[in-house]
Amino acid sequence: MAPNNVLVVGAPKSGKIRLAQHISGDYDTHTIQIDSHSGLIYTFDLTTKYFNVNLNILIEEFPDDRSDVEKDTVACLEEWTSEFSSDEFVELREALDGLIFTFTMEELDMDKFEKQLEFIGKIKELIGEEAFFVVAGAAVGEIESLIVEEIEDQVIANGFEFVNLQESGMNEYREKVGKDRLMEIFETHDWSNMEKRVQPEEYTSHKKEKMPEMAKGLLEVEDADDTDFDLERMLQKLRVDKEKVRGLNDKEKKDYVDKLVEEYLEYF
């Protein structure tokens, strides 16, 4: 089975290696060079209930030389984008199933960040709608919630999903967040090359079998105050999800809606 490739690109100390280690489970550091992380590859197998896949996480860093600390990160990303957009990288672009852009949330210049997102948007146009695109924020210290919200709004407005690498677990809407959400993306993506373990019709049948039981549970609720079901919270979640969908293309909207169906079924 041919491998699937995900490109992780970001400036130094933006969480690229930690992200790749978390997803792959490979914490070996002997191949990591001091001068640059570009060229690192994390190869591993991912097995879920529904499929098996071989994955390569490809690391790219800008600038190429870490000693060039004075170089502007926006200019570096622009240079990298120009190079990656050339005919020389057509084969690599066509072989990608996903791209993750990492950045540091601490002391973030929002104007420069917007320009970086625009460059990633150009890469997205070249790779196509079949791949997934994630913007992942890292930080050493605690980041104020208002700043994180501003960052997330800006990322969503540019048509990407935001993942805060400081987080994990689930939010109040029972959505996976942070590193767990990132893992969920890998576990639910429709990979180009995968070995299916369960036929699609079997999965659909399983969901249909669960529906009567869930409906019965809802109808038998006697006292809303004694349940975890909160209508106001659900409506708020719907508003949040609607906002997230605005900047997505048709393929991303379909994938996101499919994910929401799963979440709402589990919630109920």
- Give the model confidence (pLDDT) of 119-164 as tens digits: 999 999 999 989 999 999 999 999 999 999 999 999 999 999 999 9
Contact 134, 51 (CB under 8 A): no
pLDDT band of 1, cuts 50, 70, 90: confident
CA–CA separation, 213 and 225 (whole Å): 21
Strand partners, 138: 104
User: How many angstroms separate the CA atoms of 44 and 243, rounded?
Assistant: 35
Buried-exposed string 125-153: b where 16+ CB fall within 10 A, e elsewhere = eebebebbbbbbbbbeeebeeeebeebbe
Of 164, 162, 81, whose CA–CA distance to 124 is shortest?
81
Strands in the chain per DSSP E: 4-10, 41-47, 51-61, 96-104, 132-138, 161-164, 195-196
Top-confidence residue, 174 or 36 = 174
pLDDT over 90 for what percent of the chain? 60
What is the CA 119 to chain-centroid distance, rounded? 17
pLDDT of 225 above 60: no
Chain segment 51-89, per-residue pLDDT in tens: 999 999 999 999 877 666 557 889 999 999 999 999 999
Per DSSP bridges, beta strands 96-104 and 161-164 are unpaired
CA 94/CA 3 separation, integer angstroms? 13
148 close to 164: Cβ distance less than 8 angstroms: yes
Interatomic CA distance for residues 44 and 51, integer angstroms: 14
- List the domains of the chain with CATH numbers: 4-188 (3.40.50.11960), 199-267 (no CATH)
Give residue-wise pLDDT tens across range 228-265.
445 556 666 676 676 676 667 677 777 777 767 766 66
* Predicted local confidence at residue 174, as pLDDT: 87
